[in-house]
Amino acid sequence: MTITELAPGLQTAGITLPLRLSDFKLIAFDMDSTLINIECVDEIADAVGKKAEVAAITEAAMRGEIADYKTSLRQRVALLKGVTIADMELIYTQRLQLNPGAAELVSACKKAGLKVLLVSGGFTFFTDRIKERLGIDFARSNLLEVRSGPNCGELTGRLLDQAWGDICDGAEKRRTLLDVASLLGIEPAQCIAMGDGANDLPMMGAAGLSVAYHAKPTVREQAKVRINSGGLDRLLEVFSPDSCVVNRESHT
């Protein structure tokens, strides 16, 4: 596969440029460390003094060193027992930020006629808010069980099953991408998938255009577009300007 350094911090592999954004009909994003700046599970664990322990598992999972993502997530969620909803609210308001270029890229995609999917191994507490904040069309993520208690309730350390299944792992991300594409009446080749960790690889492999954003090496090596520095909106640099609808300043 031929790797092209399109600009500093931006590589393409195995594709011919320029592409047309309007030729694609769906873009799917991972959330943690892709659309947003944090790993939510790690920050939630910080509220009960277990951030280092949880972050080590998260890092290994993102590098692809843990084969069973579902088990690793259940292990991490079990350590969140006792975190209050008030604690989680503080994480959202004080620690969570959109990554640079997130709003600009989502806006450009919507203006070019694409639908937007947020599919995450994170939690509905955060994905529901990001979905509303950015005007995203579809979202799927994991549901934390909450029991009544002070400070708006607290986490039990368990996940709840949802209508579609139990845990949104790599296989579920891929299935969600394909299900939404089918719902929209489009082909997988008309989809873009962007992520940073190993559990994003299945959906990235199914999409016509895979994008690694500040990603782990194993993810970067398999992606057709690699954003190694700068914001999410650097993706727009691989598309012809007339297909992106909006004007933007160059980040090169």
CATH of the domain at 182: 3.40.50.1000
249 located within any domain: no
Q: Say if residue 252's pLDDT is above 80.
A: no
Over residues 166-181, the mean pLDDT reads 98
Is 95 among the domain residues? yes
> Can you give the residue range of the structural domain that contains 113?
3-243
C-beta of residue 240 within 8 angstroms of C-beta of residue 20: yes
Residue 145 maps to a domain: yes
Share of the chain above pLDDT 70, in %: 97
3-state secondary structure of 80: coil
Give domain status of residue 178, yes or no.
Answer: yes
Tell whether pTM > 0.85: yes
**Of these residues, 23, 30, 196, 242, which one is catalytic?**
30
pLDDT of residue 248: 43
- Contact present, 188 and 181 (Cβ < 8 Å): yes
Q: What is the count of structural domains for the chain?
A: 1
The helix or strand, by DSSP H or E, that contains position 195, with its residue range, turns out to be strand 191-195
Using the predicted structure, report yes or no on whether residue 247 has a pLDDT greater than 60.
no
With H, G, I as helix, E, B as strand and everything else as coil, classify residue 194. Answer: strand
Please give the angle made by the CA atoms of 141, 144 and 149, to the nearest 5 degrees: 150
Question: Measuring CA to CA, how many Å separate 150 from each of 49, 78, 87?
Answer: 19, 20, 11
**168 with 119: CB under 8 angstroms?**
yes
Mean pLDDT of 115-124: 98
The identity of residue 149, as a single letter, is G
Look-up: residue for tokens 């549901």? 143
**For range 195-217, the mean pLDDT:** 97
Does 129 fall in a domain?
A: yes
Average pLDDT over residues 41-68: 94
Asked whether residue 250 is assigned to any structural domain, the reply reads no
Q: Has 32 been annotated as catalytic?
A: yes
Dist. CA 34–CA 170, nearest whole Å: 15
Catalytic annotation on 166?
Answer: no
Residues 215-226: what's their mean pLDDT? 97
Catalytic residue among 32, 87, 169, 233: 32
Q: Is residue 31 part of a domain?
A: yes
Percent of the chain with pLDDT over 90: 90
User: Does 251 reside within a domain?
Assistant: no
| pLDDT-derived band at 250, boundaries 50, 70, 90 | very low
Distance CA 236, CA 241 (A): 8
